[in-house]
Structure 1
Amino acid sequence: MDITQALKTLALDQWYKLLVWLGGLITIGSIFLDVKVLSNAQILPISFGVFLLGLGEWASRRKVPYKRETDHGSKVSGWEFQRFNSVYGNSLSVIGVLFILFGAYKICITGNPL
């Protein structure tokens, strides 16, 4: 496998890939760095939930070919991302949303201002 092909899949060309990057970076940062406004215990579940939500959406999307005819009579073909419900992807998305809600609950309970 070519390393450039593997790196192309990590490009931020879809919104859910951005969630994976941001969630992963903030999760790692909240583990190792001290945060001043909120506690690390409050940031960690939210960022991990964002990471899981992005992974779940990524697992539920596939790149499929398409062929369409335009209004002018020409034919266009290419690739598009479509969402296909999968147990794995939907499970990750639901668990991610639950982590985000748990983190928001922890922020509300402690009463720290944002």
Structure 2
Amino acid sequence: MRYDSHCRIYGQFFGVTPEQFKAHGTPLPYDCVAFLGGATDIEHEGHLIDVTPLVEAAVALLPENREGHLDVIDHRAWSITRYFIKNKTVKEETFDLDNILEHTKNDGNW
């Protein structure tokens, strides 16, 4: 399968608005940003974007009892990096796209 874009980025952050990200100094340079049901939803398809500022802002902005996640699918490296943010900490994991279901079967993907 061939993709015209370099990457796809999907994320959801509960309890923080796009305006809070912007006020924090982290505007969201993504194709689609929406605030629905108490969560900021992010979608991007195109060139690879450095997500470090977004992840750092999410750590700073997310309330203690809320969480968020970000998936970065890199078509050139054929990998997915998942960032899970909760209680001011980040868990980052990278997997080969061919084996993603094996790594996430305990997350309801099996």
TM range (shorter): under 0.3
Larger radius of gyration: 1
Whose helix fraction is larger, Structure 1's or Structure 2's? Answer: 1
Q: Give TM-score scaled by structure 2 length.
A: 0.26
Q: Give TM-score scaled by structure 1 length.
A: 0.25
Whose strand fraction is larger, Structure 1's or Structure 2's? Answer: 2
